[in-house]
C-alpha cells in the first residue's frame, strides 16, 4: 500500500501523520510525504532569500517527519515541490499513484500567537472564498481516494 500525506509541519498535519501511522501501520504502507513551498510574486532579492529559507525549513520538516515514520518501522519517501499547493499535490498524486491521499482538515486553532492566528484566519477565509480549500480541491480532483483527517 502507498499512502501520500500532504505535510507542512502544522499542528494538523502532524496529527494527521500520527493518525495515519496508527491506522495503517499493520498494512506496512510506504508513506509518501509531500511538502509544498509556495513562491511569492515579489521578484526582489529579499523575496528570493525568504523563499530559500522557507525551502530549507520545509526540507527539515519533511526530514523530521520521515524519521518519525521510520521510527514507527515504516518506509518513507519525501517529495518537496514548489508552487501552488493544490496543483502540486494533485500533480504528485497523478504521478506517484498512491492508493490513498491523506490531507489534514483546516483548523480553527492554527499555530502561533493571537496576531498569527488572526492573520491565518483572515487569509484562510479569503483563500476559501476565492478558490476553496486545498482539501475540497483535492477531494474533487485526486485520482485516488482522499482521506481528510479531522484534527480537533
Q: Domains (ranges, CATH) in the chain? A: 2-149 (3.40.50.620)
CA 141 – CA 90 distance, rounded (Å): 7
CB 65 within 8 A of CB 33: yes
pLDDT for the residue 34 = 96
Q: How much is the pLDDT for 120?
A: 64
How many CB atoms are closer than 10 A to CB 134?
23
| Average pLDDT, integer, range 130-152 | 82
If one counts every other C-beta atom within 10 angstroms of the C-beta of residue 61, the result is 20
Q: Cell numbers 496508527 correspond to what residue?
A: 22
Query: What is the model's pLDDT at position 39?
Result: 72
Q: What is the pLDDT of residue 35?
A: 94
Answer yes or no: is pLDDT of 129 > 70.
no
Q: Which set of grid coordinates corresponds to residue 147?
A: 482521506
pLDDT-derived band at 47, boundaries 50, 70, 90:
confident
pLDDT confidence of residue 43: 65
pLDDT band at 126 (very low <50, low <70, confident <90, very high): low
More confident residue, 123 or 48: 48
Mean pLDDT of the chain: 85
Task: Tell me the pLDDT tens digit for each residue of 74-116.
Answer: 999 999 999 999 999 999 999 999 999 999 876 545 555 666 6
Q: Are 149 and 12 in contact (CB under 8 A)?
A: yes
Q: What's the pLDDT score for residue 54?
A: 87
Q: 79 has which bridge partners?
A: 34
Amino acid at each position: 500500500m502507498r499512502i501520500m500525506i500532504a505535510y507542512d509541519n502544522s499542528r494538523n498535519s502532524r496529527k494527521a501523520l500520527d493518525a495515519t501511522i496508527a491506522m495503517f501501520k499493520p498494512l506496512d504502507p510506504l508513506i509518501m510525504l509531500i511538502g509544498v513551498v509556495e513562491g511569492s510574486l515579489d521578484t526582489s532579492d529579499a523575496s528570493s532569500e525568504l523563499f530559500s529559507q522557507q525551502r530549507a525549513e520545509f526540507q527539515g520538516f519533511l526530514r523530521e517527519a520521515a524519521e518519525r515514520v521510520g521510527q514507527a518501522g515504516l518506509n518513507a519517501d519525501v517529495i518537496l515541490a514548489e508552487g501552488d499547493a493544490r496543483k502540486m499535490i494533485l500533480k504528485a498524486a497523478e504521478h506517484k499513484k498512491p492508493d490513498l491521499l491523506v490531507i489534514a482538515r483546516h483548523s480553527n486553532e492554527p499555530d502561533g500567537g493571537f496576531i498569527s492566528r488572526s492573520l491565518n484566519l483572515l487569509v484562510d477565509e479569503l483563500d476559501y472564498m476565492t478558490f476553496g480549500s486545498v482539501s475540497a480541491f483535492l477531494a474533487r480532483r485526486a485520482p485516488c481516494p482522499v482521506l481528510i483527517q479531522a484534527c480537533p
